[in-house]
Structure 1
């Protein structure tokens, strides 16, 4: 573990974080965290905590964290989708080779509806992309 702590700590929450300034330069040599802001990634809002204002450096640091967090969440989303493809393949193999009639009866309708819904969305989105590409001459 590093002996040097970061200047800011971001306590992640749904849609953002609470932002704290980390202080170890106090007379008790304890780690103190002073909340300075609340961040909402979804709408890009940065709200100072309490009556304090944020310095341009603090705002820049927070915006940098927001950009990194947004990129991380996007990478996680696409990774989850790739995993879902793997699960679909695993489920297909299970249904074909291992599933009992009772197990298939339990999950077939839910799987068929979910796959029909997914297929409908994917076909519509692909059609929209093709039409947009053709309209732009690409």
Structure 2
């Protein structure tokens, strides 16, 4: 185990995290984790757990974590999109050379609808950007 544990532990969940204060300064020298808050990143909320009152140190640590987590999630989002582009290229190669007629029958309609929907959104968003740049 590392020589020194952090003061806070964030148990990640879909919208944020449960925040725990880590305590190793006890007689049994075991790790105690005391939940102090619940964080919702999408809403920007920090809710104290139970009747707790969060210190300025608690709030600063939670705020730092929220900023870092938001950056991580944003980086993952764009990475996922780059992977989707790669996957579309791999799918094209598969459809052109490897797919059987039965496999193509199974996925063609779903792929065409998804690609049509994506194309519509991308064209509309690009047109909006071009109009803003022009104005």
| TM-score clears 0.5 | yes
Equivalence for 2:51: 51
TM-score, structure 1 normalization: 0.96
Alpha-carbon deviation of 1:57? 1.2
Q: How does 1:10-29 map to 2 (within 5 A)?
A: 10-29=10-29
Cα-to-partner distance string for 1:75-110 (whole Å, 9 max, x where unaligned): 000000000000000000000011111111111000
What TM-score, normalized to structure 2? 0.98
What is the deviation of 1:50?
1.0
After superposing on structure 2, the runs of 4+ consecutive aligned residues of structure 1 that deviate more than 2 Å are none
User: 1:15-48 deviations in whole A, cap 9, x for unaligned?
Assistant: 1000000000000000000001000000111011
Secondary structure of the residue aligned to 1:108 is helix
Alignment pair present for 1:84 and 2:84: yes
Cα offset, 1:3, TM superposition? 1.8
1:133 offset after TM fit, Å? Answer: 0.9
SS at match of 1:38: strand
Matched residues in 2 for 1:83 and 1:52: separation?
43
For residues 14 and 90 of structure 2, what CA distance do their matches in structure 1 show?
A: 31
The 5-angstrom pairing of residues 1-138 of structure 1 reads 1-135=1-135
| Structure 1: stretches of 5+ with no match in the other structure | none
Shift of 1:14: 1.1
Return the alpha-carbon distance in structure 2 between the equivalents of residues 36 and 106 of structure 1.
50
Between Structure 1 and Structure 2, how many residues are aligned?
A: 135
- RMSD (CA atoms): 0.6
User: Alignment partner of 1:95: what SS?
Assistant: helix
